């Protein structure tokens, strides 16, 4: 993983959780995607990605999230994102319409309650 981003994984039985801290851009979006996709099996219902510590998402990072949502939808699974109010990426997520495709939650606990 590059020095720009850190992905912390918490695999689960039905729901897996990943935290992404730092910057996701064209230099590391593919690698981040590989790490996130590796958390899922056909037995999972959802993947929750906590973006509370994500400080930057460029178009490659946003495209990764749209692609993950689409892939999971085709597998009858759901992607959920944790994006706190006032976070550096909250406005961008809304501007590009990601909030219309993926459920957003203010906290990790809220996301896990929703999918649980």
Give me the residues paired with residue 82 across strands. Answer: 50, 105
Closest CA to 57 of 34, 26, 103, 86: 26
In 5-107, where does DSSP find H-type helix? 29-37, 59-74, 90-95
**Residue range 50-74: average pLDDT?**
97
- pLDDT, one tens digit per residue, over 5-45 is 999 998 888 999 999 999 999 999 999 999 999 999 888 99
- Give the start-to-end residue ranges of the domains of the chain: 5-115
What pLDDT is attached to residue 73?
Answer: 95
| CA angle (44, 58, 73) in 5-degree steps | 25
Task: For domain 5-115, give the CATH number.
Answer: 3.30.750.24
pLDDT on residue 8: 94
């Amino acid at each position: 993983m590059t020095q720009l981003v850190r992905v912390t994984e918490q695999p689960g039985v039905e729901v897996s959780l990943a935290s992404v801290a730092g910057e996701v851009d064209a230099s590391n979006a593919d690698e981040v995607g590989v790490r996130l996709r590796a958390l899922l099996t056909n037995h999972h219902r959802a993947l929750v990605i906590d973006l509370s510590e994500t400080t930057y998402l460029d178009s490659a990072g946003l495209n990764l999230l749209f692609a993950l949502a689409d892939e999971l939808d085709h597998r009858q699974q759901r992607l959920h994102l944790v994006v706190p109010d006032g976070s550096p990426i909250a406005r961008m997520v809304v501007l590009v319409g990601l909030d219309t495709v993926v459920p957003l939650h203010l906290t990790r606990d809220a996301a896990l309650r929703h999918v649980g």
